[in-house]
Amino acid sequence: MKKTGTAAAKALCLLLALFMVFSLAACSGTDAGGDDEEKIVHTGKNVKSPSGVKYFTKNNLTVDMININSDGSVRTIDYPAGYEYSQMSDDEKEKWDAEEVFFSGHYMQVSGLKDKDVEEIVNEKLKNLCLDNINKIPPYRGIKAEIGENPESAKEGYKSAYQSVELNDNNILSVTMYVSGSYKSVLVEKNEYGYDNSVYFAFQETLNLDLNTGNDIGIVDMFCNDVDALACVNEAINEAIARGNGDEEIWDIGSDVKIAAPFTGISADQKYSINNSGINIVLDYETPEFDTGYYPAFVTVPFSDKVAVSERFFDEKESIYESEAPVSKHFPYSIQDAQNIEIVADEYKTIGENGTIYLIRSANCPKSVPKYIKERMSDFVNIPEEEILSEINEKLPEDANLSRIVGDYSLTARVDEVGPFVNITYSGYKYVYEGRQDDSEEQKDYFYEEISRRETYDTRLKQNEPIELSDIFKEDADISGIIKQAFIDSINKSLDSENSTRLENSDKLPAFKTGSSNEIEKLNEEYIDKLYDNIIYFSIDCESIYFTFETLPAEIYREIYGTDPFEDDNAIYINAVGWIAYDTLDCDKLTIFDL
């Protein structure tokens, strides 16, 4: 990248620095707006900091996709795929509308709200989000010079227009509309390969709705009433700029994203969406300080105790949905910020006087995790070298040629934060063999061992010990019964979604082995019992519990049913028992959401 050391660059640096100081000072204050400024008015409930997102409660809402044509009308014809069309003769191509062949898209419609007037408002806004943008020419800086005033779509160029649910929780529906395509270039007719030169683009529009009313949600409502929302977002953007690869006048904060002018802050109508990780700020043609090319860019504001996302529009005691199905809960995703990572161990070296033994230690975690977590990680990876060498020597045969010993001794510990829980994953391997003098000599392996175990800690508790499986269930819960039934439900759900034609009764495990009904049920029960008995570790994930088994489910399957699971079509979903969703376990029986 070309460097341009100019006075303008230095002035830009100074402006950014001054604005960052202002933002850092203002974020914790009240909403911006002095005597001469319009006062920001929040909607929904009055939420004071600290609030934050402890967990999400999923909306009991049904979302359907409506497939559409390039003009937004409902699609009723099944068009051939683009590659199929390209292989057709000219006569065959005449039967199809090429523009529709190379277009795909949909918009959403929802159902399940008690208030049908609100439901109609929501669906109208979702449809209009599509119709208003499906054929929009995004006004990116410089694009008209490349495509002209009346752009022509590239020949056989794909175009898509899709809506995606970013968040469907706590009575909030956050949706993005992503449109992409290509136009013919008016500057360069052909590319180096002789094809029409195309200008590719994509843009994103967003819609954030309060499902109580159908009203749009402004970005300030995502923050507590006593917090300056705009300053918090500005702070996050400035931090992204500061972390980027600055090259004086050109400040990269992402792929091909540059600062085109001093950033002076967002406005209350800033385009954004919400997902499980945070508030995503969209940078594009509506933020002229940033040159993002012909594609949108994003800065994520992580959830903190300043946000009101989970409380603003939600009342746990009052449902706005028709369905009376049990509620489903999940934790937000935690963004691992490289700036806040502490290195516990990072080492790669050879040890010992005989042969070549490589010692690999690696452990890091967020700075925010408790000290005892870091100590546990350190104890695992920082085994004294003399102990490692002693262990290796004890496992070597007496006739081992010590001068030709080669091996790896790898120890790794990593951490995942999920709500108040911290999962430590310990892993590694020990591999020692005798090195060959030439290719004709057969390699002699001495031993190979893998290390894999997990621990989960509840940071709210005073004791610095891993929690047990019983700790995450309420006292009156039938733990074994709940987990075994969850295994069955999870397997059937996986099979039902992909192989429903094979299932005669979705309430029972599929017939893994030929035999009478009673024989099948007995085998299935034995399989589930053995799975449960083989649980050795678990960890808390955002949407599920992850189980580790002493004996792999595939091996248990082979033992119980007497056949190879990977050759039996009905058994390809045995891995469904590894991840069990919280709603499959029944959230009301779990203690992890009692925060």
Mind listing the domains of the chain with CATH numbers? 40-225+261-325 (no CATH), 338-467 (3.30.565), 470-589 (no CATH)
The Cα–Cα gap between 22 and 231 comes to: 8
Residue 547 tokens read as: 């189980």
- Is the pLDDT reported for residue 18 higher than 70? no
Predicted pLDDT at 244: 64
- Is the pLDDT reported for residue 100 higher than 90? yes
Q: How many CB atoms lie within 10 A of CB 36?
A: 5
Predicted pLDDT at 55: 96
The Cα–Cα gap between 66 and 161 comes to: 12
- Is the pLDDT reported for residue 508 higher than 90? no
Q: By the 8 A CB rule, do 203 and 161 touch?
A: no
Output b/e per residue, 200-219; b: 16+ Cβ within 10 A.
Answer: ebbbbbbbbbbbbbbbebbb
Predicted pLDDT at 509: 57
What is the band of 514 on the pLDDT scale with cuts at 50, 70, 90? low
SS3 for 533-547, per residue? HCEEEEEECCCEEEE
Predicted pLDDT at 24: 43
What is the band of 528 on the pLDDT scale with cuts at 50, 70, 90? very high
- Out of 119-123, 180-184, 395-399, 415-419, the most confident range is 119-123
CA end-to-end span of the chain, whole Å?
50
- Is the pLDDT reported for residue 496 higher than 90? no
**What does the mean pLDDT of the chain come to?**
86
What is the band of 193 on the pLDDT scale with cuts at 50, 70, 90? low
Report, as an integer, the average pLDDT of 4-9. 41
Q: Between the CA atoms of 88, 91, 95 and 100, what dihedral angle is there, to the nearest 10 degrees?
A: 50
Beta strands across the sheet bearing 544-549: 535-540, 544-549, 579-581
Predicted pLDDT at 245: 46
Cα-based angle 504, 510, 514 (whole degrees, multiple of 5) = 100
Q: By the 8 A CB rule, do 159 and 135 touch?
A: no
Predicted pLDDT at 33: 43
- Report the candidate in 315, 320, 323 with the shortest Cα–Cα distance to residue 115: 320
Q: By the 8 A CB rule, do 330 and 56 touch?
A: yes
Q: What percent of the chain shows pLDDT beyond 90?
A: 66
Q: How many CB atoms lie within 10 A of CB 257?
A: 23
Predicted pLDDT at 31: 58
The Cα–Cα gap between 487 and 509 comes to: 10
What is the band of 126 on the pLDDT scale with cuts at 50, 70, 90? very high
Residue 299, SS3?
Answer: strand
What is the band of 341 on the pLDDT scale with cuts at 50, 70, 90? confident
Predicted pLDDT at 522: 86
Report, as an integer, the average pLDDT of 307-311. 96
The Cα–Cα gap between 57 and 276 comes to: 11
Task: Give the pLDDT confidence of 427-478 residue by residue, as tens digits.
Answer: 999 999 998 877 777 888 999 999 999 999 999 888 889 999 999 999 999 9
Task: Give the pLDDT confidence of 357-399 residue by residue, as tens digits.
Answer: 999 999 999 988 999 999 999 999 999 999 999 999 999 998 8
- Is the pLDDT reported for residue 251 higher than 90? no
- Report the candidate in 433, 438, 431 with the shortest Cα–Cα distance to residue 408: 431
What size, in residues, is the chain? 595
- Is the pLDDT reported for residue 16 higher than 60? no
Output b/e per residue, 322-337; b: 16+ Cβ within 10 A.
Answer: beeeebbbbbbbbeee
- Is the pLDDT reported for residue 483 higher than 50? yes
Task: Give the pLDDT confidence of 24-80 residue by residue, as tens digits.
Answer: 445 666 554 444 445 677 899 999 999 999 999 999 999 999 999 999 999 999 999
Burial class (CB in 10 A: 0-12, 13-18, 19+), 63: middle
Predicted pLDDT at 574: 62
- Is the pLDDT reported for residue 307 higher than 90? yes
Burial class (CB in 10 A: 0-12, 13-18, 19+), 113: buried
Predicted pLDDT at 350: 95
Predicted pLDDT at 356: 92
- Is the pLDDT reported for residue 175 higher than 90? yes
Task: Give the pLDDT confidence of 203-244 residue by residue, as tens digits.
Answer: 999 999 999 999 999 999 999 999 999 999 999 998 888 776
